[in-house]
Each structure stands twice: as structure tokens, then as C-alpha cells.
Amino acid sequence: MKNKSLQIIINFVNRNTGQDIKNPCRKREIIYARSVFYKLAREHTGYSFQNIGKTLGKHHATVMHSLDNVFFNAIKYSEDCKDTYNKFNGIVEESIITDVDQIQELKFRVEELEQEISEAIHYTIKEKRYRKIKGYTSTKCIDMFLKRILRALGHFRGDRSERSISNANMKRRHFG
């Protein structure tokens, strides 16, 4: 068998109708089951009438005739065919709903990642600006420069206590 998706539909129809649709017999039950296969194959695959017909050894005109004339009688008069058709479509719809839920979750995650990327880019732009301060090209020089500035402002914990000690010493020298 050339195509797995058509083989899956054939097996599904055979199992649910109790017929072998590859059998070339012209019994009504088998013809009805084949018409259900043709309809499902046409709706759920992108294959042409010719490719669908080849899987069962039938001509494309047979597939077209079955879809135009036989399928509606099969659904109308055969409960097995009607149940098979509805059951297969129900399974496909359930998988589509599951796929839609997964797609929504993935879209939400993509939006989160896009936001994180945007923030990272914004941060990177700020960092590039920071690296261009006073013409310094080396990040080590810039980091040292910023540490000196921050020390002077007392932003390091260790420097705060040293600064307060040095301020106390300065006060003693000047005033005392």
C-alpha cells in the first residue's frame, strides 16, 4: 500500500462495517461500505479520485459515481455505514479539537517567549549604551569605572560602613 492514511481508513471501514471493501464482489453491503470509504478518503485526504480508486483496484469514474449516487443510499439504508461514517468523523473532530487546544497553548507560549525576547533585546540595547560610556570599549574597564562611581556613592554594603567610618573620622578632624 502506497499511502498509510488511505490504509487506515480502509481498515477502519472494514472493522466497523464487517465487510472487506477490497473484495471485488458487487454485493450491496460491500458497495455501500466502499462508498463510505470513498467519502471518508475524499473528505480527509487530499487524494484524487484516481488515487483513491487505485487503492481498491477501481476506476476514478467508479469513485465519482459512488460519491454522487451510492453514498447517500448507504447512509440512508445501512446503519453500519451511517455509524461508521459518523464514528470516523467524530474521531477526527476530537483529534482536531485536541490539536486546536494544543495550538492555543503553543500560541500563548510563543507570545510569552516573544515578550521575553523583546525584553532581552531592550536590555541588550541598554547594555550596549552602557558599554559606550566615555569611549571605553573594554567591559572590564567599564565595570571598574562603575564600581568606583558606586563606591563613591556608597552603594556597596562594605563601602557604606567604610564611608560612614571615614565620615566620622573627617568630622573629628575638622571639628574636634
CA angle 61, 64, 69 (to 5 degrees): 120
Looking at residue 115, its pLDDT comes to 80
pLDDT at 125 over 90: no
CATH number for 39: 1.10.1750.10
> Which of 32, 64, 92 is where one domain is finished?
92
d(CA 96, CA 43): 14
Give mean pLDDT, residues 39-47: 89
Whole-Å CA distances, 71 to 20, 34, 35, 160: 17, 9, 5, 87
Residue type at 29 in one-letter notation: E
Residue 126 forms part of a structural domain = no
d(CA 40, CA 60): 15
Weakest-pLDDT range from 38-52, 114-128, 160-174: 160-174
d(CA 71, CA 2): 25
What is the residue-wise DSSP string for 91-149? HHHHHHHHHHHHHHHHHHHHHHHHHHHHHHHHHHHHHHHHHTGGG---HHHHHHHHHHH
d(CA 11, CA 85): 13
Residue 80 forms part of a structural domain = yes
Looking at residue 175, its pLDDT comes to 47
pLDDT at 95 over 80: no
> Which of 44, 63, 92 is where one domain is finished?
92
Looking at residue 100, its pLDDT comes to 65
Looking at residue 60, its pLDDT comes to 94
Q: What is the residue range of 138's domain? A: 132-175
d(CA 96, CA 161): 65
Total domains present in the chain:
2
Looking at residue 172, its pLDDT comes to 45
- Against a cut of 0.75, is the pTM above it? no
Cell 569605572: give the residue: 145
Weakest-pLDDT range from 24-38, 84-98, 162-176: 162-176
In this structure, the answer to whether residues 136 and 84 fall within a common structural domain is no
Looking at residue 10, its pLDDT comes to 93
> Which of 92, 121, 147 is where one domain is finished?
92
In this structure, the answer to whether residues 87 and 136 fall within a common structural domain is no
